[in-house]
Structure 1
Amino acid sequence: MVRIGNVEIRPLGGFPGCLLMILASLVLSAILTIGLNLLVR
């Protein structure tokens, strides 16, 4: 369990949590790549 200020982040166990983390990382990397491409241009 991770605490950030007043917010507690509880990692989901099992398959749904794993899937959620993979999806989140994919979305974040896509956003970062697009953002960097726009900045460089």
Structure 2
Amino acid sequence: MRIGNTEIRFFGGPAGCLGMIAVSILLSVGLTILLNLILR
């Protein structure tokens, strides 16, 4: 994916893979906490 002159590679080797896993875990935890607060 390109934004202007900068190239963004999400799946760029092990670091990109670990980054995507970390982002998905953080998002799922955040959404779970948010849903618990809303549905309380």
TM-score, length of structure 2 as denominator length = 0.77
Q: RMSD of aligned C-alpha atoms? A: 2.0
Moved over 6 A (4+): none
Percent of residue pairs identical: 47
Residue correspondences, number:
38
Give matches, 1:2-41, under 5 Å.
Answer: 2-3=2-3, 10-12=8-10, 13-41=12-40
Give the deviation of 1:14 after TM superposition.
0.3
TM-score, length of structure 1 as denominator length = 0.76
User: Structure 1: which 5+ residue stretches go unaligned?
Assistant: none
